[in-house]
């Protein structure tokens, strides 16, 4: 039986690096790539269909096409029909770059919250212990100490395999990568070999894409179903859906937890703004990170490290020096004693976790003032829920814009306001301009108060009608704090 790769090898064209042309939902057709010597792979995307562009690609000189739908092209075109072009694209990309994932200890982290923190902490820990590592995250991609911008949580198959190959060539032994539900569903990680996979949690998010929570869970579970018997699957035992991820996996099954029995068991002893003190399997650890959710992230880091064969005491010593990740419970203090916390919390669960952490560390008399928004063109059901959570767990809440994208920001805020009870409206404000909302929160605060500026975290922009404008929550807060000195 002929494989696709063998068929491609027998054709009259030759693949060269960069020649794989594609059309997916997040990209538009690039005519410069559809030239002689290219393979045009027709992906059925969410916004467009690559099959609509085959004639344009042919006219520009392309003669090899991988399709899953019937197309009509002249006789000199090589047309290869496959069942799913997105999976074929991933297979081709893996083969084209020589299956680089097999030459690394590759760990994939998936879940609604905690992916960026866990991958970044793992990269920082292993780097501090002398390993050369790669990082693929929402915030940034790294090869050792070299950084490059990240455009997606998980890149498309070609960029992903090219990045992994570059890591191998640069001497990386490990790579820690975020695996989004979109990437699993769109076959971006198909064909990738994982040494281990981590499930952090699953909560209400991305239902604009997956439509139902059951489908969201199914997609996450698929990642673990596809693991090989030589890999490990590490799940958060405190999440009720954690065990679902392990139902059909062939991988070695392991768990971490604070509240339930687990292979890697933690207990929080102290939780202060200066950091956590906790035990992991009975050994005490002092961390600079804050909050129960970070205790779970640290347990995941410890579990992965020991499953990869590191000495547990070396791991704990290294973990004690880990700093918070940019935009994840990142705090700054004014000279007047106001504390501002910048956090990426953009889901109900993440927002509640952050506010619960603040409640645990605040002292009597300290007010919590929250600045919260919801992104446009995303799951609308969570908007009133997030407003309700913020109002219930704050002494003052300011609803404001996040990334409105193509939506009217005022309409987004009106949908958030639906979640406010009459009682909560008495301590709520709505300010569309995010910079003005942050400034107002600071002006309302007094010494000792805690501000939460939620939703954007590490992002350095605000997207309005397809245009990304410079916007940095942390930088703005710092500037406003400096103005208070005058």
Summarised one tens digit per residue, pLDDT across range 1-26 is 334 444 344 333 333 333 343 332 22
* pLDDT band of 471, cuts 50, 70, 90: very high
Residue 212 CA, chain-centre distance (Å), reads 20
* pLDDT band of 145, cuts 50, 70, 90: confident
One domain, residues 342 and 467: yes
One domain, residues 339 and 389: yes
Highest averaged pLDDT of the listed ranges 6-10, 33-37, 118-122:
118-122
One domain, residues 304 and 399: no
109 belongs to a structural domain: yes
* DSSP 8-state code for residue 362: P
403 belongs to a structural domain: yes
Q: Give the span between the Cα atoms of 251 and 257, in whole angstroms.
A: 19
Domain boundary among 319, 344, 365: 319
Residue 117 · residue 158 · CB < 8 Å = no
* pLDDT band of 32, cuts 50, 70, 90: very low
Summarised one tens digit per residue, pLDDT across range 178-228 is 999 889 988 999 999 999 999 999 876 555 565 687 888 999 999 999 999
More confident residue, 385 or 37: 385
Q: Which residues pair with 40 in a beta bridge?
A: 21, 65
pLDDT of residue 241: 93
One domain, residues 91 and 113: no
More confident residue, 462 or 63: 462
Measured CA angle at 145 (ends 143, 147), to 5 deg? 65
pLDDT of residue 433: 97
One domain, residues 274 and 341: no
One domain, residues 218 and 160: yes
pLDDT of residue 209: 60
One domain, residues 201 and 314: yes
Domain boundary among 60, 79, 95: 95
pLDDT of residue 22: 37
Percent of the chain surpassing pLDDT 70: 90
One domain, residues 222 and 144: yes
Tally of domains within the chain: 3
pLDDT of residue 60: 86
Q: Give the span between the Cα atoms of 448 and 453, in whole angstroms.
A: 16
Helix 115-128 × helix 292-307 angle, to 10°: 50
239 belongs to a structural domain: yes
One domain, residues 91 and 110: no
- Say which CATH number the domain at 42 has: 3.40.1390.10
* DSSP 8-state code for residue 104: S
Task: Indicate the average pLDDT of the chain.
Answer: 89
pLDDT of residue 135: 97
444 belongs to a structural domain: yes
Domain boundary among 319, 349, 372: 319
pTM of full prediction above 0.85: no
pLDDT of residue 207: 52
Please compute the mean of the pLDDT values over residues 252-278 and round it to a whole number.
Answer: 96
Residue 271 · residue 290 · CB < 8 Å = yes
Summarised one tens digit per residue, pLDDT across range 317-336 is 999 999 988 888 998 999 99
Q: Give the span between the Cα atoms of 400 and 370, in whole angstroms.
A: 10
324 belongs to a structural domain: no
205 vs 245, 357, 418, CA distance in Å? 17, 21, 19
53-62: long-range contacts, CB 8 A cutoff, minimum separation 24 = 53/23, 53/29, 56/29, 56/31, 57/21, 57/29, 57/31, 60/31, 60/34, 60/35, 61/34, 61/35, 61/36, 62/21, 62/34, 62/35, 62/36, 62/38
Domain limits at 155? 97-319
One domain, residues 199 and 235: yes
- Say which CATH number the domain at 238 has: 3.40.1190.10
* pLDDT band of 455, cuts 50, 70, 90: very high
One domain, residues 293 and 222: yes
Summarised one tens digit per residue, pLDDT across range 336-350 is 999 999 998 988 988
374 belongs to a structural domain: yes
- Say which CATH number the domain at 458 has: 3.90.190.20
Q: Is the model's pLDDT at 397 over the cut of 70? A: yes
Please compute the mean of the pLDDT values over residues 301-306 and round it to a whole number.
Answer: 98
325 belongs to a structural domain: no
Percent of the chain surpassing pLDDT 90: 73
One domain, residues 291 and 388: no
Q: Is the model's pLDDT at 28 over the cut of 80? A: no
Summarised one tens digit per residue, pLDDT across range 216-257 is 899 999 999 999 999 999 999 999 999 999 999 999 999 999
309 belongs to a structural domain: yes
């Amino acid at each position: 039986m002929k494989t696709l790769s063998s068929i491609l090898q027998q054709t009259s064209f030759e693949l060269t690096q960069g020649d794989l042309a594609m059309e997916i939902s997040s990209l538009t057709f690039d005519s410069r790539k559809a030239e002689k010597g290219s393979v045009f792979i027709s992906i059925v995307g969410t916004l467009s269909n690559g099959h609509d562009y085959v004639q344009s690609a042919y006219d520009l000189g392309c003669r090899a096409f991988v399709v899953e739908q019937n197309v009509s092209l002249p006789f000199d075109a090589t047309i290869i029909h496959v069942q799913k072009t997105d999976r074929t694209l991933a297979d081709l990309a893996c083969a084209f770059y020589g299956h680089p994932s097999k030459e690394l200890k590759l760990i994939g982290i998936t879940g609604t919250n905690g992916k960026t923190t866990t991958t970044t902490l793992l990269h920082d820990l292993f780097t501090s212990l002398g390993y050369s590592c790669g990082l693929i995250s929402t915030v940034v991609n790294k090869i050792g100490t070299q950084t490059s911008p990240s455009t997606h949580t998980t890149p498309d198959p070609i960029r992903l395999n090219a990045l992994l190959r570059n890591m191998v060539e640069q001497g990386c032994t490990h790579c820690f990568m975020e695996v989004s539900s979109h990437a699993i569903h769109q076959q971006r990680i198909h064909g990738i070999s994982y040494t281990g996979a981590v499930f952090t949690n699953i909560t209400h998010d991305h239902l604009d894409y997956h439509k139902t929570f059951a489908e969201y869970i199914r997609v996450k579970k698929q990642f673990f179903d596809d693991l090989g018997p030589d890999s490990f699957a590490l799940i958060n035992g405190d999440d009720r859906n954690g065990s679902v991820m392990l139902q059909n996996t062939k991988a070695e099954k392991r768990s971490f937890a604070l509240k339930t029995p687990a292979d890697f068991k933690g207990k929080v002893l102290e939780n202060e703004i200066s950091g956590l003190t906790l035990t992991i399997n009975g050994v005490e650890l002092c961390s600079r990170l804050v909050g129960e959710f970070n205790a779970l992230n640290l347990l995941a880091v410890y579990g992965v490290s020991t499953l990869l064969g590191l000495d547990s005491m070396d791991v704990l010593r290294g973990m004690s020096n880990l700093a918070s990740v940019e935009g994840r419970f990142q705090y700054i203090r004014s000279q007047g004693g106001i504390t501002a916390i910048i956090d990426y919390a953009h889901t109900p669960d993440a927002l509640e976790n952050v506010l619960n952490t603040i409640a645990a560390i605040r002292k009597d008399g300290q007010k919590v003032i929250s600045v919260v928004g919801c992104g446009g063109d995303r799951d609308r059901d969570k908007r009133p829920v997030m407003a309700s959570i913020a109002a219930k767990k704050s002494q003052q809440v300011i609803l404001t814009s996040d990334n409105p994208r193509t939506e009217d920001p005022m309409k987004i805020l009106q949908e958030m306001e639906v979640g406010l009870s009459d009682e909560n409206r008495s301590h709520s404000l709505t300010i569309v301009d995010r910079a003005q909302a942050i400034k107002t929160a600071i002006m309302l605060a007094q010494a000792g108060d805690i501000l939460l500026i939620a939703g954007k975290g590490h992002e350095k922009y605000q997207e309005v009608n397809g245009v990304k404008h410079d916007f940095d929550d942390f930088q703005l807060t710092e500037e406003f704090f400096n103005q208070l000195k005058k």
